[in-house]
Chain A
Amino acid sequence: MQLTHLHSYARPTDLESAVELIREGGRGTRVMAAGTDLILSGSDEITGLVDLGGLALSYIEDRGGAVAIGAMTTLTELLEHPAAAAYLDGVVPEMLRRVGSPLLRNVATVGGNLVRRQPWSDVIPLFRALGASMTLFDGEDRSGPIDDLYAEAAHLTGTILTEVVLPRQPAGTAAAFWKFTRSAVDIATLNCAALIQAQESGCVRARVFVGATPRLAAAVPSAEAALVGTDLSASAIAAAARAAADEVSTGDDLRATAAYRTRLVSVGVTRCLEKAQERLEGVTS
C-alpha cells in the first residue's frame, strides 16, 4: 500500500466545501488532482486527501486567442485539443509530447504539474515563457501571473489552483520548447523554453527559461536582454546562448554534472531560439 497513513478521503463537488475540508483536515491533509505525485511520494505525513475530481475543473476554452485551461485537465486532453494546436504553432503539444508517457499523460493534470514545482517540470518553463496567468481559490478567486507560484515565499496551503490562461499573443510572436533526456521517457537533464516577438525594428520582447539545472526553471534575463533590439540573426542568438551559459548556475546530480549542464544550456538556448526564429519567419513571410 502506498499511502499507509491515509485515514480520510473526500471528493467534494463545490470549491467552497473543498477549501473547508482542507482547512478542517489540518496538517496531514493534501489536495489531490490525479494523485501521481502524492502516490509516488508514499509519504507517511499524508493522512487526508481532498480529491478535486468532483469539481468542474476539467475544460479547455479558446477565449479570443487566449487559451483557458481548467486545473484538472489532463496533459493528454490538452495535447489533443485544437485550441492548443492553434496556439503559437502548437508549441504546447510540442512540449507535452515530451512529458512522461501516454499512460502518465492520460491521468496527470496540468494543475498538479504546475503546483508541484518539480525542478524538471517541462510545463513550468514553457508556461512561464508564454506569460501564463492563473486563478487561485481560497474562499474567493484571486488572479495573478503563474510566476507567483514560484516565488520564494509562495504558500499554497488551503488554496486551490482552478484555472491557467495562456494569453493571446501579439502578431509577430513565436515560441519553442527544447528538452534533453537520456532516454525517450526520462525526465529532463535540462530543458528550455523561449518566446520572441519581433516588429520591423527587430526583436521587441524575449523570454528565455531554463529548467532542470537541476533546480527549478528560472528566467534568464541576460539572454533576454541580449536579444531585444537585435535582428535575431545567428550571431544575436549565439550571443544570447553565451550570456545564458554564463548566467545560469548549474549543479550535479545523477543525470549530469554541472559542467555538462552548462554545455547543454548553450546548446538548448541556441536550438530553442533557432526554432522560434524559424517559426517567426513562417509567420511574418
Chain B
Amino acid sequence: MKQTIALTINGTRRSIETELGETLLEVLRRNGMKSVKLGCDTGDCGACAVLLDGSAVNACMVLAVAADGKDVDTVEGLEHDGRLHPMQQAMIDVGAVQCGFCTPGILMSGIDLLSRNPDPTEDEVREALAGNLCRCTGYVKQVDVILATARLQAGETDA
C-alpha cells in the first residue's frame, strides 16, 4: 500500500510517496539523499544516521510514514553558499576520512552532540559516537574533528 507523506528535507517541504512498510532510509535514498548509507539495516552501525526534528537517529529504525510532517536533515543540506559546514571542513583538514562510508553518520551524531552540549569532553564525544561504527580510522581523528568544531564554534560565539 502506498501513501503520500510530507517531509521537510534539508529545509524544503516535499511530498513523497512511500510504501507503508518502508523505512525512512529507503525513502531518503530513493529521493536522492545518497549520503544516507545502508550499512546493517538493524540499528547497529549508524551509517544511516540523519537528524529527525533535530535529533540524530538511525533512518533504518524509523518507518517513513511515522516521519510524516517532520523535519529531516542530511549531509546534503550541510553546505551553505558554497561553504562546507565547519565539521565537514574539519573532516578534511584533520584527515579523518578514509573510505568515507561512516562519515555522514558521524557528522550527524557530532552535530546532534554539539547542539545539546556545545563544550563536550573527549569522553562525551566518544560516548556520542558509540552507535557509529568505522572500520577504517580507529576513531581518533573523528573525535578530534568534533572537539575542534566545538572549539571553533565557541570562538565564533565569543567574538
B9 close to chain A: CB less than 8 A: no
Can you list 7 A-B contacts with CB-CB less than 8 angstroms, sorted by A residue number? Answer: A5-B21, A8-B20, A35-B61, A102-B127, A106-B56, A107-B58, A184-B130
| Chain B residue at smallest Cβ distance from A97 | B127
| Interchain CA distance A243-B44 in the complex, whole Å | 36
| CB 8 Å contact bits of A64-94 with B (1 = contact, 0 = none) | 0000000000001000100000000000000
A182 close to chain B: CB less than 8 A: no
Residue from the list A3, A97, A102 in contact with B131, Cβ < 8 A = A102
A6 close to chain B: CB less than 8 A: yes
| Chain A residue at smallest Cβ distance from B126 | A184
| Chain B residue at smallest Cβ distance from A48 | B20
Instruction: Sort chain B's interface into a size bin.
Output: 35 or more
A53-B66 CB under 8 A given contacts A1-B19, A103-B57: yes
Taking a contact as CB atoms under 8 Å apart, the answer to whether A1 and B63 are in contact is no
A103-B109 CB under 8 A given contacts A40-B43, A53-B66, A185-B131: yes
Q: How far is the CB of A250 from chain B (nearest CB, A)?
A: 26
Known: A9-B63, A40-B43. 12 other contacts (CB 8 A): A1-B22, A2-B22, A3-B20, A6-B20, A7-B20, A39-B23, A51-B65, A97-B127, A102-B131, A103-B109, A107-B52, A185-B131
Taking a contact as CB atoms under 8 Å apart, the answer to whether B57 and A106 are in contact is yes
Taking a contact as CB atoms under 8 Å apart, the answer to whether A35 and B26 are in contact is no
Residues of B within 8 A of A (CB): 1, 3, 19-23, 26, 41-44, 46, 49, 52, 55-58, 60-63, 65-66, 68, 109, 112-113, 116, 127-128, 130-132
A1-B26 CB under 8 A given contacts A32-B66, A36-B43: yes
Residues of A within 8 A of B (CB): 1-9, 11, 32, 34-36, 39-40, 49, 51, 53, 76, 80, 97, 100-104, 106-107, 184-185
| Chain A residue at smallest Cβ distance from B49 | A103
B-side contacts of A39, CB under 8 Å:
23, 60-63
| Chain B residue at smallest Cβ distance from A32 | B66
> Chain B interface secondary structure, helix, strand, loop or mixed?
mixed
Taking a contact as CB atoms under 8 Å apart, the answer to whether A3 and B61 are in contact is no
| Interchain CA distance A102-B120 in the complex, whole Å | 15
Taking a contact as CB atoms under 8 Å apart, the answer to whether A35 and B130 are in contact is no
Residue from the list B46, B63, B112 in contact with A3, Cβ < 8 A = B63
A-side contacts of B19, CB under 8 Å:
1, 6
Q: How far is the CB of A138 from chain B (nearest CB, A)?
A: 23
Residue from the list B21, B52, B55, B113 in contact with A6, Cβ < 8 A = B21
Taking a contact as CB atoms under 8 Å apart, the answer to whether A4 and B21 are in contact is yes
Taking a contact as CB atoms under 8 Å apart, the answer to whether A101 and B131 are in contact is yes
Q: How far is the CB of A9 from chain B (nearest CB, A)?
A: 5
A107-B112 CB under 8 A given contacts A5-B21, A53-B66: no
A-side contacts of B131, CB under 8 Å:
100-104, 185
A-side contacts of B43, CB under 8 Å:
36, 40, 100, 103-104
| Interchain CA distance A5-B26 in the complex, whole Å | 17
A-side contacts of B128, CB under 8 Å:
102
Interface core residue of B23, B52, B57, B109 (most chain A CB under 10 Å): B57
| Interchain CA distance A64-B42 in the complex, whole Å | 40
